[in-house]
């Protein structure tokens, strides 16, 4: 029986990538912001429509540096319905996560509940564009300005997403993008920060290179998070096919919708108005369906189809945070995390496999 994983990395042709990296054997320049690194930075600025960008070895360290750049410690309002990296970044930078509930409509942070969580210790809001669904960026900006707070978006799921004709990278003070192998666009491992304030440029650049300004001057206690030339080359190759890959994902997404829409107890991802999607994920909420989420998960696994309980559980429930700080009650997030399942979703997923996955879910019985 054919195995179908929840995701599969998009790749350029082997020949394309090999041709791209061939010059590295001549230059011997493999890292430290080389030619490919600088070229990728320039092209991503154009693609994402952002004034400034800094590239990193992964998205998580990029998010930590974004929080470090605030130069204050305190409470950061965020959501527990996210990958653990979001919460880890807050805690590892010496801050305290304050968990805000999410909206049942699109799974993003509930902006109507943010203000009640603001105290004199709050330094920032860290919302998450979940599955590529866009947060209410206008209301979040109003709240931030009213209370003099910074907004750092976790945009790991939102590469290429546009809202009201603008790239999602242009909203907030800083946005973090993940270029992990499972993402719509990737460099194998990698990440980036996008921002509008040129004053952040030097700090973000030197933080990833040990805080070094020159051979004789170190201005920050930085780390090592440089994106090497091999991964930058992968990014350049993948950027050439990004729109094509998103188009393929759209076809898969729409076939899922066609198969599963209108079924009682199955809620599909909301199509947000004025949002150009990237079709990164296909989440399905099982709410009083004839099978529970966990039963569907097991049934698919019996048929060599590996869906993902994503996000599950809430990050606020992890043992790593036990007794470190108070956990806020987030009842909507708890309901969603217990009932949501991401079905296999990638550019090269065959339509016949989408149909088979949906048939198994609808029939509710083993195909073995």
- Two structure tokens written together for 32: 């430290």
**CB half-sphere exposure, 175, CA atoms < 13 A:** 29
**Tokens 């791209």 sit on residue:** 20
Q: Provide CB contacts within 8 A for 194, sequence distance 6+.
A: 48, 50, 52, 53, 155, 169, 170, 174, 175, 177
What are residue 254's DSSP bridge partners? none
First to last CA, the chain: 9
Model pLDDT, residue 42: 98
Angle at 312 between CA 309 and CA 314, to 5 degrees: 165
Q: What domains sit in the chain, N to C, each tagged with a CATH number?
A: 14-237 (3.40.640.10), 242-363 (3.90.1150.10)
- Two structure tokens written together for 208: 């990833």
Helix (H), strand (E) at residue 359: helix 351-363
pLDDT tens profile 286-340: 999 999 999 999 999 999 999 999 999 999 999 999 999 999 999 999 999 999 9
Residue 349 reports pLDDT greater than 80: yes
Q: Confirm if 150 and 173 have CB atoms less than 8 A apart.
A: yes
Confidence of residue 1 (pLDDT cuts 50, 70, 90): confident
Radius of gyration of the chain (CA): 21
Mean pLDDT of 244-265: 98
Start-end of H helices in 217-318: 229-260, 293-302
Coil, helix or strand at residue 310:
coil
* Letter string b/e over residues 186-213, b meaning 16 or more CB atoms within 10 A of that residue's CB: bbbbbbbbbbeeeebeebbbbbbbeebe
pLDDT tens profile 34-74: 999 999 999 999 999 999 999 999 999 999 999 999 999 99
Average pLDDT, the chain: 96
- Two structure tokens written together for 66: 């974004």
Per-state percent for the chain, helix, strand, coil, to nearest 5:
40, 15, 45
Residue 367 reports pLDDT greater than 70: no
Task: Let me know how long the chain is.
Answer: 368
Model pLDDT, residue 365: 57
Per DSSP, the chain holds a count of helices (H) and strands (E) of 11, 15
pLDDT tens profile 191-227: 999 999 999 999 999 999 999 998 899 988 999 999 9
Confidence of residue 238 (pLDDT cuts 50, 70, 90): very high
Give which of 60, 90, 225 is closest to 156, Cα–Cα. 60
Mean pLDDT of 114-138: 98
Residue 353 reports pLDDT greater than 60: yes
Whether this model's pTM surpasses 0.85 = yes
Model pLDDT, residue 368: 40
Instruction: Give the number of other CB atoms < 10 A from CB of residue 263.
Output: 15
Q: Confirm if 266 and 286 have CB atoms less than 8 A apart.
A: yes
The rounded distance, in Å, linking the Cα atoms of 100 and 122 is 13
- The C-alpha torsion from 267 through 178 and 204 to 236, rounded to 10°, is -130
Mean pLDDT of 265-286: 97
């Amino acid at each position: 029986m054919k195995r179908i994983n929840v995701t599969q990395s998009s790749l350029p042709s082997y020949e394309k990538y090999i041709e791209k990296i061939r010059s590295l054997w001549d230059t011997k320049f493999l890292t430290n912001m080389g030619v490919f690194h600088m070229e990728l930075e320039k092209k991503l600025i154009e693609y994402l429509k952002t004034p400034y960008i800094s590239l990193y070895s992964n998205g998580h360290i990029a998010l930590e540096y974004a929080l470090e750049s605030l130069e204050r410690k305190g409470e950061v309002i965020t959501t527990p319905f996210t990958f653990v990296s979001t919460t880890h970044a807050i805690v590892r930078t010496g801050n305290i996560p304050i968990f805000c509930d999410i909206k049942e409509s699109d799974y993003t942070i509930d902006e109507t509940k943010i203000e009640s969580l603001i105290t004199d210790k709050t330094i920032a809001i860290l919302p998450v564009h979940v599955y590529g669904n866009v947060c209410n960026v206008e209301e979040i900006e109003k709240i931030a300005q009213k209370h003099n707070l910074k907004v750092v978006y976790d945009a790991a799921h939102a590469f290429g997403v546009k809202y009201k004709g603008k790239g999602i990278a242009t909203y907030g003070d800083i946005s973090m993008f993940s270029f992990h192998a499972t993402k719509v666009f990737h460099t194998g491992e990698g990440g980036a920060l996008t921002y509008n304030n040129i004053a952040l440029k030097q700090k973000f650049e030197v933080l990833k290179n040990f805080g070094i300004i020159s051979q004789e001057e170190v201005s920050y206690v930085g780390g090592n998070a440089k994106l090497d030339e091999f991964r930058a080359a992968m990014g350049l190759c993948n950027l050439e096919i990004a729109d094509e890959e998103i188009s393929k994902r759209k076809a898969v997404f729409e076939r899922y919708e066609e198969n599963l829409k209108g079924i009682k107890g199955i809620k599909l991802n909301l199509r947000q108005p004025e949002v150009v999607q990237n079709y990164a994920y296909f989440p399905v909420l099982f709410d009083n369906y004839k099978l529970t989420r966990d039963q569907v998960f097991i049934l698919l696994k019996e048929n060599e189809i590996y869906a993902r309980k994503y996000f599950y559980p809430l990050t606020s429930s992890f043992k790593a945070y036990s007794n470190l700080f108070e956990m806020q009650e987030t009842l909507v997030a708890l309901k969603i995390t217990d009932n949501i399942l991401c079905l296999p979703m990638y550019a090269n997923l065959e339509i016949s496999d989408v149909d088979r996955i949906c048939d198994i879910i609808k029939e509710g019985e083993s195909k073995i």
